[in-house]
Structure 1
Amino acid sequence: MEHIEPQESIPAKARLVYEYMLKPHANKWAMGLDQWDWVPGVGVIAILSYYERSGRKEIIDQLAAWAENNRDKAERAKVINSMAPFAIYPQLFRYTSDAYFFDTAVKAGDWMLNEAPRTREGAFEHTVTENVGFPEQVWADTVFMAVLFLARLAKLTGRAEYGREAARQLELHLRLLQDKDTHVLFHGWNCIAANHMSSARWTRANAWVAVGVPMIVSELEGICPISEEMIRQYTLLIEGLIRYQREDGLWPTVMVRSDFYPETSGSAGIACGIAQGVRQGILDRSMMESADRTLKAILQKIDANGEVSGVSGGTPVLDTVEAYNAIPCHPTLYGQGLVLMLLSEFL
């Protein structure tokens, strides 16, 4: 892939972003790596991607130490959104040969197959650790937070039932969330009301799927087939996303609202998905022009300490589209992580 910045600057920026993630951030939940939830989950998934693209042994050692320190928290994880950290367990098992990682991952995967709440369509209900429920709601976030882990578990164990469920969840989420007119995704679907709630085509929701699909497809190769229709729908999604990209390479926080603020994490996730899809042959190489423009813009969002700016805070499905533009921006592990994943694609 062609670099639009001096080649040496991207590894340096990636290192800064990674090292900022490891620093202590007192009283900042969104930057707290030493916990078990979706936020640190995105962080450790991104750090693993950075390791796989850079090959630096100390990175995987750091992840193994993190997992060891959080064993007790992993045992209590029983909601879909907190499945995210388990996505690093298959690689940690291969690296350490510690049966704990294999056995714990299988327990989590079996919980997903047999006990995790589902909607009437069979999609995973979006459950969270917070004291709040979203009955029979399907969120795009689940693809990255839970389905990715299931696909990696399928590859680790060779058990086709994990792979088939991962593929089925991909198809369900695309069918329930994809806008038939624009081909981009709504944030969520309410199965009870049979609607998309506020009908927000939120950029970070689209990013979770844009980057999640090629990661999942690569894991399922040789385990179970991916339908041509699913790949076609994914391609339409990316084509739709590119149509909403701003001239500066970013996307507004709700993509159909060009007057809303540009959002860094969602933009990085979409561009990373494009780069991965092109690398894997899922997407046409011409789409890299879009990812290149995003990379150029994202590099300007990283300060000298490695902090990524312009990242919107945690966002449930909101009551109105306008409410998304009122979400404040601040540093987060998922913002750092999605940017690190994008930079890793260009190492």
Structure 2
Amino acid sequence: MKGIDELKELAERVYHRMIDKTVNDWGMNMESWDWVPGVGVISILAYGRLLGNQEAIEYLQQWTERNKHLSEQVKVINSMAPYAIFPDLYRLSGERWYLDTGVTIGDWMLTEAPRTREGAFEHTVTENAKFSEQVWADTLFMAVLFLARLAKLTGDSKYAKEAEYQLLVHLRLLQDPLTGVLFHGWNCAEENHMSSARWTRANAWVILACPWIAEEIGSLIPVAGEVVERYRQLAAGLRHYQGKDGMWSTVMDQSGFYAETSGSAGIAAGWLAGIRMGWLDDTYKEAVDQTLQGVMERIEPDGTVQGVSGGTPVMPNIPAYEEIPCYPTLYGQGLALILLSLAHAEIG
């Protein structure tokens, strides 16, 4: 692992790059309500908690005050991500609005959110696009993480049971039995993985979401052994595709494709989360350190995380993933920030 002071200083730069400038571009705009700033605020919460940065927590309270009116404009699975900070903000502030809003949204997810024929949350988005009967790996981080945190806050097992079910159904539909890693998506109507891309960032969302979700719901229901077993298969499969530089190609079994920073950071963060849960042994730490070095080399002096692929739906074919351009984004900043924060906590 890197030095604790180096990790703290770099995490602070990455964090400030997210919040210090108000920008209107899609990738770095914090002042909206969707999955991109959602990953941003989830990562800032992790940073604030793991490094004890009270300023970061206060920022989240201010951010919510500025943007909560936007949450009323649309309810889709991909825009659930910002709600994942509400349980912590309620505990810290005691403001009833966080709890009441969280319960309203959680109940909407249980009773009204569109589902596929298998009962998985259909991946609905704020953009003018339909993905009928499609299951995406992204959903576990963008929506189910919130549901798990709401379960722990309220003590209501109905949210915990739904979170566990979504974990299982997503893993069962997306995991490749031959390699252990995940495909980007599944079409329930056609019963196929569409382009069958083993997209790196999809795997990052899941390898990180699994232990985080299990940690939240574990005090309410016993987490199925199948979740842990599938997580370990995923972790081992990802290790197989890790490059010598510690990174993964944007489609991990396409070694000629560009190395992608956000997915790589998320995978290493997911390994660290698994180690903290006792799901993985310490042999993963060397692989984490390799990724950490690779990610740190892609962070500019001003905290900008480079090498992050843009927003990526399930593409029509595997070569199309290589055509996605790279530019700074809040989710790239965020996954790097989570990795730095977890690494700091590991040695702190």
Specify the SS of the correspondent of 2:213: helix
2:108 maps to what in 1?
111
1:217 maps to what in 2?
214
Instruction: Report whether the alignment pairs 1:40 with 2:42.
Output: no
CA distance in 2, matches of 1:27, 1:153: 31
1:202 maps to what in 2?
199
Identity over the aligned pairs, expressed in percent?
Answer: 56
CA distance in 1, matches of 2:285, 2:74: 37
- Cα offset, 1:254, TM superposition: 0.3
What letter is aligned with 1:151?
A: A
1:193 maps to what in 2?
190
1:228 to 225, 233, 243: 225
Runs of 4+ in 1 over 6 A off after TM superposition: none
Q: Deviations over 1:232-274 (max 9, x none)?
A: 0110000000000000000000001111100000000000000
Q: TM-score, normalised by structure 1?
A: 0.98
2:153 to 149, 152, 156: 156
Q: TM-score, normalised by structure 2?
A: 0.98
What letter is aligned with 1:76?
A: Q
2:16 to 4, 7, 19: 19
Specify the SS of the correspondent of 1:257: coil
Specify the SS of the correspondent of 1:200: coil
1:147 maps to what in 2?
144
CA distance in 2, matches of 1:25, 1:31: 8
Q: Which consecutive residues of structure 2, in runs of 5 or more, have no partner in the other structure? A: none
1:89 to 78, 86, 89: 86
1:130 maps to what in 2?
127
CA distance in 2, matches of 1:279, 1:345: 9
- Cα offset, 1:25, TM superposition: 4.5
CA distance in 2, matches of 1:23, 1:62: 11
Task: Give matches, 1:1-347, under 5 Å.
Answer: 3=1, 5-347=2-344
CA distance in 1, matches of 2:74, 2:172: 28
- Cα offset, 1:284, TM superposition: 1.6
Number of aligned pairs?
344
- Cα offset, 1:73, TM superposition: 1.1
Specify the SS of the correspondent of 1:258: coil
Specify the SS of the correspondent of 1:30: coil
1:77–1:83 Cα contact (<8 Å) kept = no
CA distance in 2, matches of 1:232, 1:38: 28
Specify the SS of the correspondent of 1:289: helix
Cα RMSD of the aligned pairs, angstroms, is: 0.8
Specify the SS of the correspondent of 2:27: helix
1:136–1:192 Cα contact (<8 Å) kept = yes
Q: Which consecutive residues of structure 1, in runs of 5 or more, have no partner in the other structure? A: none
What letter is aligned with 2:249?
A: P
CA distance in 2, matches of 1:23, 1:59: 12
Specify the SS of the correspondent of 1:345: helix
